[in-house]
Amino acid sequence: MKREENASISIIKIICVTIILILLSGIGVMAVSENLKDVTIILQNGYEMTALTSKATVSEILAENNIVLEDNQKTIPDLNEEVSSGQSIKITDKSYNEVQIAKISEEGAQTSLDELLKNYAPITEKIVVEQVTIPYETVTKNSNVTGDTTNKVLQQGKDGLKEVTYKVKYQNDVEIEKTVISEKVITEPVNKIVQVQKKVTSRGSTLPRTTASSSGGTTYKITAYCPCAKCCGKTTGRTASGTKATAGRTVAASSKFAFGTKLNIGGHIYTVEDRGGAINGNKIDIFVNTHSEALQWGVRYLPVSVVQ
């Protein structure tokens, strides 16, 4: 009888211990399940994987799943941020910008998604061909005539035409950049030529003819240049003779005039200190300070004589 009682007590103890173990394991499973969360990981190639994890931050979850970022990659959210169940971790290139809808600002205004997308709109490029007018120049002959003068148009000017090819960049259909690719002249401009001469003082008189002797020298074609690369091909400001080009003094002339030669050009004394590939024959280039001054000068025909 004692043996049966002892056996019954042992069985009861075993059953109690088993129940206690089952309860403890159930509590442990519940505790673990409460800490686990499912997180979606989206790789840069678009592949998605679901991870069941108890980790808190992005970096811990990636490490748990043996995912290592490359130098040019980043995560959204950042590595040190915590994620909750159902949230996604996106791996993308560092240059990627995620568009988010702005919340109500301090002023109480809300930015719409359409307005935000305008800032992230793609930039498109187009090749555009336009025809552009080339303005003609006015050439003045004998502009040094003094006293009462009158202008006589010897030749009417006519604008030219050129075809310009541009590369144009647009964003939201708005032009943001325009670059010239090439230019092609279709029609050359025709210069307007104006003769400056003295007014007729009597009915019987005739208009004076300007000659080399009456103007005090031989008439030369006078243009102007500045120290920019477009005019000189360099920007050093040094002349062919080694001097520093100076406005009001320096001129470029052909080799028929030695360096240092003083020239009276339209009543002003200049010094030959420079040369030029296009300076030959009866042509002289006067040095000025800026390119705009050179353009304003244009082309003039003035008497030139050597100062002895």
pLDDT at 1: 53
What band does 258 get if pLDDT is binned at 50, 70 and 90?
A: very high
> What domains lie within the chain, and their CATH numbers?
37-93 (3.10.20.90), 211-306 (2.40.40.10)
What band does 100 get if pLDDT is binned at 50, 70 and 90?
A: very low
Residue-wise pLDDT tens digits, 102-121: 444 444 445 555 665 666 67
What band does 56 get if pLDDT is binned at 50, 70 and 90?
A: confident
pLDDT at 98: 52
Three-state secondary structure readout of the chain: CHHHHHHHHHHHHHHHHHHHHHHHHHHHHHHHHHHCEEEEEECCCCCEEEEEECCCEHHHHHHHCCCCCCCCEEEECCCCCECCCCCEEEEEECCCCCCCCCCCCCCCCCCCHHHHHHHCCCEEEEEEEEEEEECCCEEEECCCCCCCEEEEEEECCECEEEEEEEEEEEECCEEEEEEEEEEEEEECCECEEEEEEECCCCCCCCCCCCCCCCCCCEEEEEEEECCCHHHHCCCCCECCCCCECCCCCEEECCCCCCCCCEEEECCEEEEEEECCCCCCCCEEEEECCCHHHHHHHCEEEEEEEECC
Provide the mean pLDDT of the chain.
Answer: 79
| pTM of the predicted structure, to 2 decimals | 0.33
Residue-wise pLDDT tens digits, 156-185: 888 899 999 999 888 877 888 888 899 898
| pLDDT surpassing 90 at residue 205 | no
